[in-house]
Amino acid sequence: MRHSNQLLYFRLPRAFITINQIRLCVGLLATTLILVLIATPTSSQTMLGFDLSEANIPTKEIRRGGPPPDGIPSIDNPQFTLVEDVNFLEPEDTIIAFEKDGVARAYPFRILIWHEIVNDTVADRPIAVVYCPLCGTAMIFDRRYGEHTLDFGVSGLLYNSDVLMFDRQTGSLWSQLGMQAVAGDFVGTELQWLPSVQTTWANWKAENPGGEVLNMNTGHRRDYFDLPYASYFASRGTMFPYERNRDELDVKAWVAGIRLNDTAKAYPIESMPDKRWIDDDIDGNPIRVRYVSDQQRFDAETPDGEPVPVVHAFWFAWQAFYPETELYKSGKKETN
């Protein structure tokens, strides 16, 4: 707001005003101001309407990303196209896929980048597909918590440059990479991270000819052929502050992140042998991992072949949330 430099004048009433009366008025004004300040929530208690009073992360580190809550609209009524009818994807397009009870679905990044969250149900399992372009992270979570099935939206807030979701049932805030509620009624509740596959459209299409693909009939007008974060991905820097704990890798080096029993491990993509399974362990749990470069795909599984959840992430984001993360070094036993 612009203010004029013109002085404002007022005229005292002709009635005589004592010094004590002036002091009384000043005192009443000061008391009123204090009461107003006490009754008004501070920025550390609320932000964009979300209650942060019992947050389990430093509220001073929560940032506004720009858009308001739901300014980046989630997809709540996803529509799908059969693989054989898809004509809007390029072979090298990246997708994240989920399968349950024979139902296989792929969610293209070129759509996710505009919406960040898809609330879907696959074979009776309610899931949330969550993508944060700032961290490069796509993850899938179960939406069921006790008797509740939650619907998630984009809050407009960030923590460590990572998207904070909110559920529309309670308004609680949830951290994608932190994998838990960080404020609100559900604070401290863990997200159930589900195994998924991140790969190219060409690869997934070949393996899932009967699959379904999230299409552009989202209910919103967006240019899904435009990639709004292209310059960000090509740059070496980040947009928002984050906790700097580790510097073994470049800020935006790609890693595959796994967390088992609260132990995190990162696998630098550039140091992974191509198409070779590696026997490894995390917190005493044996696993096998593999990176296939032409499919841009990282797989992790138990010795029995059960898939283990894994996320592709920029190094800065993974180390911010998991400062004690183990870091894979080449030299592990390889198998075919």
Residue 164 belongs to a domain: yes
Same domain (yes/no): 93, 207: yes
Same domain (yes/no): 66, 201: yes
Question: Residue 171 and residue 240: Cα distance in Å, rounded?
Answer: 24
pLDDT tier for residue 336 given thresholds of 50, 70 and 90: low
107 token code pair: 């969610």
* Residue recorded with tokens 């009524």: 77
pLDDT at 31 over 80: no
How far is residue 278 from each of residues 188, 200, 281, measured CA to CA in Å?
A: 34, 22, 10
Same domain (yes/no): 290, 163: no
Last residue within a domain, chosen from 189, 214, 239: 214
Same domain (yes/no): 315, 204: no
pLDDT (tens digit, 9 = 90+) per residue, 143-154?
Answer: 999 889 999 999
Please compute, for residue 179, the number of CA atoms within 13 A of its CA located in the half-sphere on the CB side: 24
pLDDT (tens digit, 9 = 90+) per residue, 208-223?
Answer: 999 999 999 999 999 9
Q: Which of 173, 98, 103, 109 is nearest to 142 (CA)?
A: 98
CB 101 within 8 A of CB 83: no
pLDDT tier for residue 15 given thresholds of 50, 70 and 90: very low
This prediction's pTM? 0.85
Query: What is the domain count for the chain?
Result: 2
Average pLDDT, the chain: 88
Same domain (yes/no): 310, 266: yes
Beta-carbon contacts of 41 under 8 Å, excluding residues fewer than 6 positions away, are none
* Residue recorded with tokens 């997934």: 204
Report the pLDDT value the prediction gives residue 3, as an integer from 0 to 100.
34
Beta-carbon contacts of 2 under 8 Å, excluding residues fewer than 6 positions away, are none
CB 237 within 8 A of CB 161: no
pLDDT (tens digit, 9 = 90+) per residue, 72-107?
Answer: 999 999 999 999 999 999 999 999 999 999 999 999
Same domain (yes/no): 328, 264: yes
Residue 308 belongs to a domain: yes
Report the pLDDT value the prediction gives residue 335, as an integer from 0 to 100.
60
pLDDT at 43 over 50: no
Residue 272 belongs to a domain: yes
Report the pLDDT value the prediction gives residue 44, as an integer from 0 to 100.
58
Residue 154 belongs to a domain: yes
Report the pLDDT value the prediction gives residue 167, as an integer from 0 to 100.
98
Phi, psi at 255, each rounded to 5°: -130, 155
Question: Residue 298 and residue 194: Cα distance in Å, rounded?
Answer: 15
pLDDT tier for residue 32 given thresholds of 50, 70 and 90: very low
Residue 12 belongs to a domain: no
Mean pLDDT to the nearest integer, 43-68: 93
Phi, psi at 316, each rounded to 5°: -60, -35
Q: Which domain holds residue 143?
A: 61-214
Residue 241 belongs to a domain: no
pLDDT (tens digit, 9 = 90+) per residue, 252-299?
Answer: 999 999 999 999 999 999 999 999 999 999 999 999 999 999 999 999
Mean pLDDT to the nearest integer, 180-198: 97
Same domain (yes/no): 210, 65: yes
Residue 31 belongs to a domain: no
285 token code pair: 């749990």
Q: DSSP secondary structure string, 33-85?
A: HHHHHHHSPPTTTEETTEE-TT-SS-GGGEEE-SS-TTSS--BSS--EEEGGG
Same domain (yes/no): 150, 283: no
pLDDT at 2 over 60: no
pLDDT tier for residue 333 given thresholds of 50, 70 and 90: low
Report the pLDDT value the prediction gives residue 334, as an integer from 0 to 100.
60
CB 252 within 8 A of CB 315: yes
